[in-house]
Amino acid sequence: MPDLLVSVRSFSEYQTVAAEDVGIIDFKEPRKGALSPVDPTLWYQVASFTQKGASRQFESAKLSAALGESDDYKSIVDQLPSEFQYAKVGPCGIDSKEELLPLWEAVRARLPKTTELVAVAYADHAAALCLPPIEIFVLAHKLGFRRCLLDTFTKHGQTTFDHLTIDELLELQQCARESGMKWALAGSLTRQLAQEANRKGIAPDCYAVRGDVCRDGRTSELSVERLRNWVLNHPG
Ligand SMILES: O=C[C@H](O)COP(=O)(O)O
């Protein structure tokens, strides 16, 4: 069964998601962009909550943090608590491997030792002025990444499937599998889109969602009902 990642923007959303069977809880501020970080005080609040032992269900989900685009990470990365297993930095504005590799290396050098950097590729890479997803996946493998996330940079209604063909997605999937990397699929995903793609062979290791578990789009509040639909019915 593929994993499920759900993005949250507040402590109460974290508690809502942590009470469900969700593998990864991702902290980001959806009102400010695709990978905008939340205020680090929320990181501390969650880290302290998990340190105190909370309950078993609250301990099971892994924690992920969005650190912004490109150099945004510099002002906050040192504050990331070691309780976060994953961190992500967007490649917006980085259109060559000569720029992307040093960025990844610099971020990794400043993350807690227990935090794994996840490579991010944007399906709408032209809008994000960055390298195409396949180039990012190949580079990620060369640099020893274990996980890649495919997302969309713009969040105005178009989905990953509006930017990439099924054949292009299958190529990314093959690249990830041959490289031994896990890949997560995001980008205004709905359960219906995920099901349709799954019937065509798209089987990511993780589905990553925000908008489709909210009441009225990704900037609105979480809907427990929509969240449970994803938990119980995502494909795979
Ligand atoms: O990491 C995944 C994103 O939070 C997905 O957000 P979205 O479903 O609103 O595109």
Residue 58 has pLDDT above 80, yes or no: no
Confidence band, pLDDT 50/70/90 cuts, at residue 54:
low
Smallest CA separation from ligand 1 atom 1, residue: 208
Ligand 1 center–CA 86 separation, angstroms: 15
∠94-182-132 over CA atoms, to 5°? Answer: 25
The residue type of 85 is Q
Mean pLDDT of 113-133: 98
* 134: CB partners within 8 A, 6+ apart: 168, 171, 172, 175
Q: Which residues pair with residue 119 across a beta bridge?
A: 148
φ/ψ bin of 4: left (φ > 0), alpha (ψ from -120 to 50), beta (otherwise) = beta
Query: Is ligand 1 within 6 A of the CB of residue 208?
Result: yes
The distance from CA 29 to its chain's CA centroid, rounded to whole angstroms, is 12
Smallest CA separation from ligand 1 atom 5, residue: 209
Give the nearest ligand 1 atom to 208 CA.
Answer: 2
Give the Cα separation of 173 and 153 in Å (integer). Answer: 20
Are 82 and 114 contacting, i.e. CB atoms less than 8 angstroms apart?
yes
The residue type of 27 is F
- Average pLDDT along the chain: 95
For the chain, list the domains and their CATH numbers.
3-233 (3.20.20.380)
ipTM surpassing 0.95: yes
Confidence band, pLDDT 50/70/90 cuts, at residue 234:
confident
76-119 pLDDT, tens digit each:
999 999 999 999 999 999 999 999 999 999 999 999 999 999 99
Ligand 1 center–CA 110 separation, angstroms: 25
162-204 pLDDT, tens digit each:
999 999 999 999 999 999 999 999 999 999 999 999 999 999 9
Give the Cα separation of 65 and 43 in Å (integer). Answer: 8
pTM confidence score: 0.96
What does the block give as tokens for 142? 């060369």
R_g of the chain computed on alpha carbons: 16
